[in-house]
């Protein structure tokens, strides 16, 4: 804990981010390069994301399973595009038990291959389809430029894998899971996102096409926050994943995969945080309300604590997550700053004068200063807290949406796009009909990539801003994490 001021976002956003992650005790650095230790407060935030997603997955018929961490290297090599895309990131085990292995094992970077092998054994006929599996696990992708939660060599995630009888069913599954990610981001994390299709250059290695949700961080950069892949029959052919149709014909399955990781923790930090620290959305916050006692002597402390304990218990009974800060030797002011840094949505303050007047002071984390404070009767505290948590959730989304709207710029030509990107003004939205080579040139010259082609496209089209060609579609360009 520290009462030092954070580096302002406008001065150095990357430094601000690192200070928040470590001083708010979301994570600690580890002795393993590229990896972090996720501390309890950060892990509780991930668990809230995990629990919400898990409920959504099970409600749509998916079951959880677990597959090995180690994958035979030959499995990875079966799908040519897949191995080409992942080779630079692989960690390979060559020795075990003091001996060289007959075949090296790859430490799981993703599980399409080993799950594809299992599916091929499990699926016999159309009666076995659809097969809807999810796994919660860790994965390893060797990271050259690590950053806590955003890019680490080991990270936590869920990866869904499904097999279907038809192209149409696989496509419907891919889009359904994208919608679940969008709902999690917008309804739970209070982060507005653009849902759309990745360009060929940016799609998942081995996929027919990749869908994504893209979120805007408060420095104007994009963060890919969840992806859903239609794999077509690529992995089914690689692993001989077939089923017997009602007409007694052998057909290859159509498969999908989709994932969201601890990167979403980083998204929440960077989409909502301010110069005082985290601002957590109530639906996911490990602590929704912190109660701070104010007293000068033991008699006052006893009276104040008794009332706060009763308030805390009442909040718990309403399904709210409270925390009573009874730490000794720290001033109320220190505690206020500490919990602001940690992003707790709402603070309850109670001192002897408040107790005598039958009131408490409520302070919102999303609204600074006097505007975020209100005095309410102790009897009305619990219902007021419920209402305020709903308001805070909505307000965080509204603020992020306004920020997004203000920083997406429609551009008509390449010069305008360069002005937006190179001036760090946000994202550029433009009509696009260019090639992969054109996209690569833009990336090399501006560091911007096509984040996605939004699902919602205008009915009327204009020529491509870069090539003048038609037909074109709207694309979003941005620098990204």
pLDDT digits (tens, 9 = 90+) for 406-448: 999 999 999 999 999 999 999 999 999 999 999 999 999 999 9
3-state helix, strand and coil shares in percent for the chain, rounded to the nearest 5: 40, 30, 35
- Is 281 domain-assigned? no
Report the alpha-carbon distance of residue 92 to residue 81 in Å, rounded. Answer: 19
Report the alpha-carbon distance of residue 433 to residue 468 in Å, rounded. Answer: 8
CA dist 414 → 153, 421, 441, 477 (Å): 36, 11, 12, 11
Give the per-residue pLDDT at 1. Answer: 44
Count: domains in the chain: 3
For residues 45 and 26, the answer to whether their CB atoms sit within 8 Å is yes
Type and span of the H or E element at 181: helix 167-183
For residues 255 and 129, the answer to whether their CB atoms sit within 8 Å is no
* CATH number for 169: 3.30.930.10
267 and 125, same structural domain?
yes
Residue in 323, 314, 387 with CA at minimum distance from that of residue 44 = 323
Give the per-residue pLDDT at 421. Answer: 98
Supply the range of the domain harboring residue 302.
289-395
102 and 73, same structural domain?
yes
* CATH number for 444: 3.30.110.30
44 and 152, same structural domain?
yes
Domain boundary among the residues 342, 368, 395 is at: 395
Give the per-residue pLDDT at 86. Answer: 77
Instruction: Please state the pTM of the whole predicted model.
Output: 0.95
Report the alpha-carbon distance of residue 257 to residue 236 in Å, rounded. Answer: 12
CA 381 to chain centre: 33
pLDDT digits (tens, 9 = 90+) for 235-255: 999 999 999 999 999 999 999
451 and 313, same structural domain?
no
Type and span of the H or E element at 189: none
367 and 236, same structural domain?
no
- Is 165 domain-assigned? yes
384 and 418, same structural domain?
no
Q: Residue 131 forms beta bridges with which residues?
A: 163
For residues 324 and 308, the answer to whether their CB atoms sit within 8 Å is yes
169 and 49, same structural domain?
yes
227 and 102, same structural domain?
yes
pLDDT digits (tens, 9 = 90+) for 340-379: 999 999 999 999 999 999 999 999 999 999 999 999 999 9
For residues 433 and 475, the answer to whether their CB atoms sit within 8 Å is no
381 and 261, same structural domain?
no
342 and 315, same structural domain?
yes
**What sign has the CA pseudo-torsion 233, 76, 197, 394?**
positive
Give the per-residue pLDDT at 210. Answer: 98
- Is 157 domain-assigned? yes
- Is 4 domain-assigned? no
93 and 149, same structural domain?
yes
Low-confidence ranges of the chain (pLDDT < 50): 1-2
Domain boundary among the residues 272, 304, 326 is at: 272
* CATH number for 389: 3.40.50.800
pLDDT digits (tens, 9 = 90+) for 452-471: 999 999 998 899 999 999 99
- Is 299 domain-assigned? yes
- Is 284 domain-assigned? no
Report the alpha-carbon distance of residue 3 to residue 354 in Å, rounded. Answer: 26
Residue in 392, 425, 393, 422 with CA at minimum distance from that of residue 408 = 425
Give the per-residue pLDDT at 79. Answer: 75
Domain boundary among the residues 241, 272, 303 is at: 272
Torsion angle, alpha carbons of 200, 202, 204, 205, to 10 = 70
218 and 123, same structural domain?
yes
- Is 174 domain-assigned? yes
Q: How many helices (H) and strands (E) does the chain have?
A: 14, 23
């Amino acid at each position: 804990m520290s009462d030092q001021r954070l580096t302002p976002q406008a001065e150095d956003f990357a430094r601000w981010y690192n200070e928040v992650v470590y001083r708010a005790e979301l994570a600690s650095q580890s002795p393993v390069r590229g990896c972090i230790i996720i501390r309890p407060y950060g892990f509780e935030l991930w668990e809230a994301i995990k629990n919400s997603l898990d409920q959504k997955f099970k409600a749509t018929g998916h079951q959880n399973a677990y597959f090995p961490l180690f994958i035979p290297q030959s499995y990875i090599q079966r799908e040519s595009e897949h191995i080409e895309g992942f080779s630079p990131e692989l960690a390979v085990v060559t020795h075990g038990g003091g001996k060289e292995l007959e075949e090296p094992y790859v430490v799981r970077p993703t599980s399409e291959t080993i799950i594809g092998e299992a599916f091929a054994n499990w699926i016999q006929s159309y009666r076995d389809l659809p097969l809807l599996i999810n796994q919660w696990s860790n994965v390893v992708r060797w990271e050259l430029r690590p950053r806590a939660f955003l890019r680490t060599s080991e990270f936590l995630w869920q990866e869904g894998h499904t097999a279907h009888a038809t192209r149409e069913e696989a496509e419907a599954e891919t889009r359904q899971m994208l919608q679940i990610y969008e709902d999690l981001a917008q309804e739970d994390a209070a982060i507005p996102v653009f849902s759309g299709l990745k360009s060929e250059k940016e799609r998942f290695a081995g996929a027919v096409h990749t869908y994504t949700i893209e979120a805007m961080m408060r420095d104007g950069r994009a963060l890919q926050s969840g992806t859903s892949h239609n794999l077509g029959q690529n992995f089914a052919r690689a692993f001989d994943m077939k089923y017997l149709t009602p007409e007694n014909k052998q057909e290859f399955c159509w498969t999908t995969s989709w994932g969201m990781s601890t990167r979403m923790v980083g998204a929440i930090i960077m989409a909502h945080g301010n110069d005082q620290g985290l601002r957590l959305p109530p639906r996911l916050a490990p602590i929704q309300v912190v109660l701070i006692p104010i007293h000068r002597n033991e008699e006052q402390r006893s009276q104040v604590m008794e009332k706060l304990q009763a308030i805390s218990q009442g909040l718990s009974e309403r399904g709210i997550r409270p925390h009573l800060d009874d730490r000794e030797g720290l001033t109320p002011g220190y505690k206020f700053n500490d919990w602001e840094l940690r992003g707790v949505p709402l603070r309850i303050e109670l001192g002897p004068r408040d107790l005598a007047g039958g009131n408490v002071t409520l302070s919102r984390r999303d609204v600074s200063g006097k505007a975020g404070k209100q005095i309410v009767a102790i009897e009305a505290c619990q219902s007021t807290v419920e209402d305020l948590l709903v308001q805070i959730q909505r307000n965080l989304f509204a603020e992020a949406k306004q920020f997004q709207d203000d920083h997406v710029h429609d551009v008509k030509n390449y010069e305008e796009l360069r002005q937006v990107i190179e001036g760090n003004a946000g994202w550029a939205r433009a009509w696009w009909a260019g090639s992969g080579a054109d996209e690569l040139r833009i990336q090399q010259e501006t560091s911007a990539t096509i984040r996605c082609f939004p699902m919602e496209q205008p009915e009327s089209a204009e020529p491509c801003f870069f090539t003048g060609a038609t037909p074109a579609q709207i694309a979003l360009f941005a620098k990204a994490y």
